[in-house]
Structure 1
């Protein structure tokens, strides 16, 4: 069960790790002004609470040949199993890098990373082949302005320091 509130030291650890995820514990401890053992204990607690969900490398899509980012809005026919069917099918599609259940004009919003228009056309066909999907509208990204930046921890509720 997560702790209800975190303090400024937890926030400092999280902020540092968002910018420098490969920081060794000794260097992290120094950056947040803790002993290495105390810093490691807090970091492990943040991991156990699920606040730190994992660590990953940030990859350059263009250098990997994924030249196009497409946002795809889906409308689906509704039933008791619709979301599960759509979610399971999308989870198996490697070009789907994010999927959100949304409110508004669409039911799902997908982010696709594809190398070219031909691949997008194939992926779009696969998505339209998912039974409950009744409409798909794509928007191609011209340029990414902000990409997976650190979360705004200033707005996060903390314990009184």
Structure 2
């Protein structure tokens, strides 16, 4: 749910603190942002209800899970009708190694981030999954060499 309300300075500090550590207790969060516990809890609940905070998650180390490689793919479809686009979206959602999918402008239709176990894992992904989706015409891929920055959201403290 999108909100018409603009978060104030305290709301932004709450969101920044939760981005840094989503496991803070309400008491720890309240102390960190300079509020007492009850008003802090009310603000967090309002930020959740207004959609500014859309969820909480644990960030896992994919290399410890056996999928050390991250591959970025650009994919083009043969057709762009509603059925083809919906079918592709469902297929992407069903693949656990697919981390992110973006519909894009430009030469390619989609930008996809995939976690795989080495080049064989990627070959298996292409041959057994991606190229089995009806309508996939072309893809281009790049293996990442490292991640210089990773963030799940923009900082609420950034200056406009």
| TM-score, normalised relative to structure 2 | 0.91
> Whose relative contact order is higher, 1 or 2, with alpha carbons under 8 Å and at least 6 apart?
1
The Cα offsets for residues 67-105 of structure 1, whole Å up to 9 and x where unpaired, read as: 100001100122232211100011001100111111112
Unaligned runs of 5+ in 2: none
Aligned counterpart for 2:135 among listed residues 127, 132, 139: 132
Aligned counterpart for 1:89 among listed residues 85, 91, 100: 91
Aligned counterpart for 1:123 among listed residues 125, 135, 141: 125
State the partner residue of 1:27. Answer: 28
Unaligned runs of 5+ in 1: none
| TM-score, normalised relative to structure 1 | 0.91
Whether the 8 Å contact between 2:13 and 2:157 is mirrored in structure 1 is: no
State the partner residue of 2:100. Answer: 98
Could you tell me how far apart the structure 2 residues matched to 1:136 and 1:124 are?
Answer: 9
Is residue 69 of structure 2 the alignment partner of residue 68 of structure 1? Answer: yes
State the partner residue of 2:110. Answer: 108
